[in-house]
Chains A and B, each alone.
Chain A
Amino acid sequence: MARVVGGLTTSHIPAIGNAVPREKELVNDPYWKPFFAAYPPARAWLQKAKPDVAIVIYNDHGLNFFLDKMPTFAIGAAAEYRNADEGWGIPTTPPFQGDQELSWHIIESLVHDEFDVTTCQEMLVDHGFTVPMSLFWPGNSYGGVKTIPVCINTVQHPLPSPLRCFKLGQAIGRAVESYPKDLKVVVLGTGGMSHQLDGERAGFINKKFDLLCLDKLVNEPEVLTRYSIHELVREAGAQGAEFILWLAMRGALSGKVTKVHSSYHVAVSNTATGLLVLDNAA
């Protein structure tokens, strides 16, 4: 049977997309050092865990979806996912391999569980997906893992609540664990932590709240599901509401969860960055 072996979260700031190809040089740069120095333990854990598939829970920022049709939850069911020009000049990444059979198994299971997701046989993936993949698997081949993008709307309110996203993650976890093939699956939750790009409150960061989230997400995620989206925006900033993607990841881990590694740094670009690696033992 397939198993969810762990979950990882990382910020997905576009500026990182520019920096990743230059990591070897930037790891000694005072601005980037505290950021890149946090990633080797996450990569080491992945090399040991050897996942076959990464389910990447992210948000599209206006590459694949526009306001003409804006699904709350969408899932990829393609053999391959491509990145494309997002308009402001970060280099595009090589394509990502999909796993259509597992995608459709998850879709069947989610709809059965009353999560009526939008299914996508063509889906461009933006920096919310590509930056974490490039960070965790440097070198453009992504460690040979197949991917399944799960996109949650954070563009247009109403956004799904933290509790609803956590439950979606639980349903994804159940779907994976009922898949008959022996596959090792990791679940990624991308984005965050606190940041705000728009309005007179632009530049807002809330270290205290971020550290609370990093702590509670490990073994008391239910506490964080009590927030409303409005409260999350107040505490984490307008775009800090991306924390719902982390909660969805955490929902997928139903075993004995232990923290392998975490890191927090203020700031890259406008954003407080966070990294968390969780092991999910049977």
Chain B
Amino acid sequence: MTLVTHHDLPIPGTYMFDGHAAMKGYALNKMCFSFNKAENREEFLKDEDAYCTKFGLNDEQRKAIKERNVLAMIHAGGCIYYLAKFAGIFHLTVQDVGAQQTGMTVEEFKKKLKAQGE
């Protein structure tokens, strides 16, 4: 049995958060990192636009934030570990976020997860 499989072929539906993404998404990720603190989450909710301006988000990032669109945030350089803190403001779980990205309902997404254990 060979255990070493493929090499560097792209993995469909998967985005490596690498140096390129880290440069592109720095402002967005820095804003989301700030959401570790409750006072920052409150400040964001009071005036989203002002908060995005404070962190210097570009238009693509602001649009993704405004639309709560996780895939668009990833395309704009977002890293899921920081984006999860943004999702947390709205009490969205990783299952809600997974359902949104895969175009499923949360129930369908949960079924898909479970089915892979059978």
Please give the residue numbers on chain A whose beta carbons come within 8 Å of chain B beta carbons, in ascending order: 15, 61-63, 66-68, 84-89, 155-158, 196-207, 212, 223-224, 226-228, 230-231, 233-235, 238-239, 265-267, 269-270, 272
Contact = CB atoms under 8 A, between A and B. Distances in A.
Given A234-B6, A235-B5, A197 B36 contact: no
B6 A231 contact: yes
Contacts, number: 149
22 contacts: A15-B93, A62-B82, A66-B33, A87-B35, A88-B87, A89-B91, A156-B18, A156-B19, A197-B98, A198-B80, A199-B74, A199-B101, A201-B12, A202-B98, A223-B3, A226-B3, A228-B4, A230-B8, A231-B5, A231-B7, A238-B16, A267-B113
A227 B7 contact: no
Contacts of B83: 198
Interface string B1-43: 0011111100111111111001000100110110111100100
Interface in B73-101: 74, 79-85, 87-89, 91, 93-95, 97-98, 101
B101 A202 contact: yes
A84 B36 contact: yes
Contacts of B85: 62, 86-88
A238 B25 CA distance: 18
Q: Is the interface of A mostly helix, strand, loop or mixed?
A: loop
Contact of A155 (B36, B81, B117): B81
B116 A86 contact: no
B62 to A, nearest CB: 19
Nearest to B113: A267
| 5 nearest A-B pairs in the assembled complex, by CB-CB distance | A266-B117, A88-B88, A201-B13, A200-B13, A87-B85
Contact of B4 (A84, A204, A226, A238): A226
A228 B11 CA distance: 14
B37 to A, nearest CB: 7
Interface of B: 3-8, 11-19, 22, 26, 29-30, 32-33, 35-38, 41, 70-71, 74, 79-85, 87-89, 91, 93-95, 97-98, 101-102, 109, 112-114, 116-118
A197 B18 contact: no
B112 A203 contact: yes
A239 B8 CA distance: 17
A223 B3 CA distance: 8
Q: Is the interface of B mostly helix, strand, loop or mixed?
A: helix
B101 A198 contact: yes
Contacts of B8: 230
Contacts of B87: 88
A120 B90 CA distance: 33
A247 to B, nearest CB: 14
Contacts of A84: 36
A242 to B, nearest CB: 11
B102 A85 contact: no
Contact of B80 (A88, A197, A267): A197
A86 to B, nearest CB: 6
B14 A199 contact: yes
B18 A238 contact: no
B7 A266 contact: no
A196 B70 CA distance: 14
A89 B87 CA distance: 11
Given A85-B36, A231-B7, A196 B14 contact: yes
B89 to A, nearest CB: 8
A85 B41 CA distance: 12
Given A198-B15, A228-B7, A270 B74 contact: no
